[in-house]
Structure 1
Amino acid sequence: MAKWRTSLEALGFTGVATYINSGNVLLDSTDSAATVKKRIDADLAENFAIHDEKVKVLVLTRGQLKKVIENRPTGFGDEPKKYHSDAIFLMGVSTSDAMAVFNPREGVDTIWPGDGVIYSRRLSAERTKSRLSAIMSSPLYTSMTIRSWSTTMKLWDLMND
């Protein structure tokens, strides 16, 4: 992540910060989200030899992340000891198409569609019975990136620091 941060700074992005080793980067740019994505895609290919179509970059503006948080289902993420809650961000796939690959187990999994995101909650005491991992066998899985709700909220907090 340190090498990637340095590489992004060399591209002229400012305020570059990484959060945990899962590809989370915060940065400032006057470019559009689409332009930032193109520049990061090119950087990953050139400096890190990542040319795999399964590795996708998702760029969210502050406003987009704010909407994800503000539009969460009522109570979503409020009981972290009882539920594991995740934001499943979508990349180039519609919410309705993505929802079709989920097969929630009654009493364990609950999912809600959002704008560019699917909210997923698993009952912690029954999480080994969750069907969330079944989405990995879908071709659409490469068009999703999952962040725990706590990570999503931490990224929001870091954006506002």
Structure 2
Amino acid sequence: MRWVALLRGINVGGNNIIPMADLRACVSALGFTGVATYIQSGNVLFDAPGRHATVVKTLEQALSTSFNYQAKLVLRSAAEMQEVLDDAPEGFGSDRTQFKYDVLFARPGVDVAAVLAEVPVHPEVDVATAGRHALYYRRFIARETSSRLSRLVQMPVYKELTVRNWNTTLRLVQMATSVQTSDA
């Protein structure tokens, strides 16, 4: 099974600094194969047998032990990552000159539709939509300082989410669904 692990809270603001080579080595040491990373924000792809919950637990424990932080991650199969693309609202990601696009991935057990009611939006700037595995957040670039997305980090539900921009999401899907992987 091909997996994409989206690590929360690493290499942000000088906290939980994990070099990607060390991350790849840690994941490989678990016996997972085809390990690749993408950019420094904690995206790791790999092949591993087992159930979702088992893979999450194994990986979070290894990361916590290896890097001395409380690891939390969102794990999606390659097929689920493709579903994230397929579920995106019509036109999402199509006008990058006027809008910024983010995907808010939810941890297991989180009701994405219920989270949508908690996500702060500025009605003239932001649009948030729920899919099966994630929330889709669009905001006007010209009024980005009025966006309420940054308020999300102060909310309890934020601990159950991890955010990736649309370009990163597209690249992760491409990497997860292609036969050949590469490090970036």
Question: Cα RMSD between the aligned structures?
Answer: 1.2
Give 1 or 2: higher helix fraction.
1
| 1:139 is aligned to 2:170 | no
Task: State the 1:64 CA deviation.
Answer: 0.7
| 1:116 is aligned to 2:127 | no
Alignment partner, residue 82 of structure 1: 98
TM-score w.r.t. length of structure 1? 0.93
Unmatched tracts of structure 1, length 5 or more: none
Task: State the 1:32 CA deviation.
Answer: 2.3
Once the two structures are superposed, the pairs formed by residues 1-161 of structure 1 within 5 Å of their partners are: 1-50=20-69, 52=70, 55-91=71-107, 92-159=109-176, 160=178, 161=180
Task: State the 1:115 CA deviation.
Answer: 0.9
Q: Which string of whole-angstrom CA distances, capped at 9 and with x for unpartnered residues, describes residues 90-145 of structure 1?
A: 11321133112223112210010111211000011111110111111111111010
Higher relative contact order (CA 8 A, sep 6+): 2
Task: State the 1:67 CA deviation.
Answer: 0.7
Match of 1:100, SS state, is helix
Aligned counterparts of 1:2 and 1:120: Cα–Cα separation in 2: 31
What one-letter code is carried by the residue in structure 1 that aligns with 2:58? R
Unmatched tracts of structure 2, length 5 or more: 1-19
Aligned length: 158
What one-letter code is carried by the residue in structure 1 that aligns with 2:131? G
Match of 2:97, SS state, is coil
Match of 1:45, SS state, is helix
What one-letter code is carried by the residue in structure 2 that aligns with 1:13? F
Q: Which string of whole-angstrom CA distances, capped at 9 and with x for unpartnered residues, describes residues 24-83 of structure 1?
A: 001111222222111101101221122x3xx41111001111111011100001111111
Aligned counterparts of 1:103 and 1:87: Cα–Cα separation in 2: 14
What one-letter code is carried by the residue in structure 1 that aligns with 2:82? K
TM-score w.r.t. length of structure 2? 0.81
Aligned counterparts of 1:14 and 1:138: Cα–Cα separation in 2: 36
Aligned counterparts of 1:103 and 1:32: Cα–Cα separation in 2: 33
Report percent identity of matched pairs.
36
